[in-house]
Structure 1
């Protein structure tokens, strides 16, 4: 493990993980046997979505009879939370694990603390996130937005495009405003920018033929699949659907924090 204020590096076997706490506590890099699997760049890698996931309709939500307006960072909606735009504090580091925190603040209207941990093994990465409040209860969501490379071949040595395999119980019908309409429909073929329900736990397998198989798993029952860009695909386990602050509110209370975890496990092909 090596670290600085800007970068925390973890290692286990031939897997290496780099976290940038000051840039939204995102995974900046995950290499397996020297092969990078995440899209590179300040906005990419894999970032936490907290205290909400995906879009909030018109940036508005209610907590009981109290209405709130969030900044419209993806007009006409608010998207992906504030955690990715925040500098997190490093709580602890070791050779293959680390933990980070940040305190909720404006523009989020409630106080609380978010914790994110990383545990790297030779064949897996487990990420855990928690949202807690010491005072007022509030609705919240948490999840992750990884950008997996579509092609692991790299420049000058292209490989085959990744294959995405999953079985969902339903797909949230997406309206023209990119928000779920409230109807659940049979899963449709891609390309996707869509939320799927997996009540028996999230499990999505990415296969780069002849190179690597990686499975994203979570006990959460929601996952967004996004594969409309040429460079990367996204598999986003999350605690609720887009606009869930309004349609599926999950209250964080002083005695009931929100907790979510995901494990990425892999094997060479």
Structure 2
């Protein structure tokens, strides 16, 4: 571990976790090829204790209304949680496994703890996240926001393949309207329902195939930038703290995992 980053290796795979910068994966290299967009805002970061957007930064828990900072001005909503903006602690490191934690704190109004496990194998990476309540229950979400490079420099752009059951209709305010519609062609900045679990295949023709899977039932796909595409498994839809609250209690933590598995096409 150097420069507050943790690097795990397994065979020809290596992943680096920048625990000081939101516990994001700053690098994932397969046989020397980088898969993630580089830069302090990119890589792959955990979204917690919410995913995507909270409408105008406000959510309710029982009779209480809470205001989260609008953290992507001039965007009018609160984006992607607070976990990506804080330093995490290393609690355990082995050659191909590491565990990280951080304690929920202001501006999030409820005490609790978040854990992220990173487990690397020669042909896969498994990420697991847990959210625990210290006392009062609260609504929460968790997921990941990877920025996969659109082109690996070895051939054609990446191709996406997935078969969602529906697409969340997106309003002019970029929030789901509550209507489920038949999936539309891209480009996307949209949430899709996959009730049998997230399953998305990214193929860089002639280079690599990578499958993103999760028992979670929601995935956001964002491919409106030239440099990268995002495939984001998450525990609920955008604005879900308000529309589909999942309460975390001291005896019922929120847990979610995703596995990225790959094979060479070279």
The TM-score with structure 1 as length reference comes to 0.97
Following the alignment from structure 1 to structure 2, what is the Cα–Cα distance between the partners of residues 238 and 62?
Answer: 20
Q: Gaps (5+ residues) in structure 2?
A: none
Following the alignment from structure 1 to structure 2, what is the Cα–Cα distance between the partners of residues 148 and 50?
Answer: 20
1:218 — aligned with what? 214
1:185 — aligned with what? 181
2:98 — aligned with what? 98
TM-superposed CA distance for 1:13, in Å, is 0.4
Paired positions, count: 263
Following the alignment from structure 1 to structure 2, what is the Cα–Cα distance between the partners of residues 41 and 72?
Answer: 22
Give the SS at the match of 2:81. Answer: coil
Following the alignment from structure 2 to structure 1, what is the Cα–Cα distance between the partners of residues 262 and 245?
Answer: 33
2:237 — aligned with what? 241
Q: Gaps (5+ residues) in structure 1?
A: none
Following the alignment from structure 2 to structure 1, what is the Cα–Cα distance between the partners of residues 69 and 179?
Answer: 27
2:197 — aligned with what? 201
TM-superposed CA distance for 1:134, in Å, is 2.0
TM-superposed CA distance for 1:4, in Å, is 2.7
TM-superposed CA distance for 1:6, in Å, is 1.2
Following the alignment from structure 1 to structure 2, what is the Cα–Cα distance between the partners of residues 110 and 22?
Answer: 22
Runs of 4+ in 1 over 3 A off after TM superposition: none
Give the SS at the match of 1:19. Answer: strand
Following the alignment from structure 2 to structure 1, what is the Cα–Cα distance between the partners of residues 2 and 210?
Answer: 29
1:172 — aligned with what? 168
The TM-score with structure 2 as length reference comes to 0.98
Following the alignment from structure 1 to structure 2, what is the Cα–Cα distance between the partners of residues 128 and 148?
Answer: 19
Q: Superposed, which structure 2 residues align to 1:1-16 within 5 Å?
A: 3-4=1-2, 6-16=4-14
Give the SS at the match of 2:242. Answer: helix
1:80 — aligned with what? 80
Structure 1 residues 75-126: Cα deviation after superposition (integer angstroms, max 9, x where no partner) = 3100000000000000000000000000000000100000000000000000
The root-mean-square deviation of aligned C-alpha atoms, in Å, is: 0.7
